[in-house]
Amino acid sequence: MSSAPQLDIDHIAKLARLALTPAEKATFAQQLGEVLHHIEQLSKVDVTGVEPTAHASPVFNVWQADVAQPGLSVADALRNAPAQRDHMIAVPKVVE
Partner 1 sequence: MPSALHFRTIADLAAALDAKQLTSVELTQAVIARTQAVEPRIHAFNSFDASDALAQAAASDARRAAGQARGALDGIPIGLKDVIAVTGQPLTASSKMLQNFVSPYDATVTTKLKQAGAVLWGRLNCDEFAMGSSTENSAFGPTGNPWDTTRVPGGSSGGSSAALAAGEAIATLGSDTGGSIRQPAALCGVVGLKPSYGLVSRYGLIAFASSLDQIGPFARTVEDAAIVLGAIAGHDERDSTSFKTEIPDYRAALTTHRGPWKLGIPKEYFADGLDPEIAASVEQAIAFYKAQGCEIREVSLPHTAYCLDTYYVIATAEASSNLGRYDGIRYGHRSTAAKDAVDLYAQSRAEGFGPEVKRRIILGTYVLSSGYYDAYYLRAQKVRTLIRQDFLHAFRDVDALLTPTSPVPAFKLGEKADPLSLYLCDIYTIGVNLAGLPAISVPCGFTKSGLPIGAQLIGQPFQESNLLAIAHAYEQAHEWSGKYPAL
Angle at 34 between CA 31 and CA 35, to 5 degrees: 90
By the rule CB under 8 A, 86 interacts with partner 1: no
Name 2's Cβ contacts closer than 8 Å, sequence gap at least 6. Answer: none
- Distance from C-alpha of 94 to C-alpha of 96, rounded to nearest angstrom: 7
Shorter beta-carbon distance to partner 1: residue 62 or 68: 62
* Residues 84 and 78 sit within 8 Å (Cβ to Cβ): yes
Q: How far is the CB of 13 from partner 1 (least distance, A)?
A: 7
- Distance from C-alpha of 30 to C-alpha of 4, rounded to nearest angstrom: 13
Shorter beta-carbon distance to partner 1: residue 68 or 72: 72
**Residues between 20 and 49 that touch partner 1 (CB under 8 A):** 20-21, 24, 28, 31-32, 34-36, 38-39, 41-43, 45, 47
SS3 state at 85:
strand
Where on the chain is the footprint of partner 1 (CB under 8 A)? 1-2, 7, 9, 11-13, 15-21, 24, 28, 31-32, 34-36, 38-39, 41-43, 45, 47, 50-59, 62, 64, 72, 76-77, 79-83, 89, 91-94
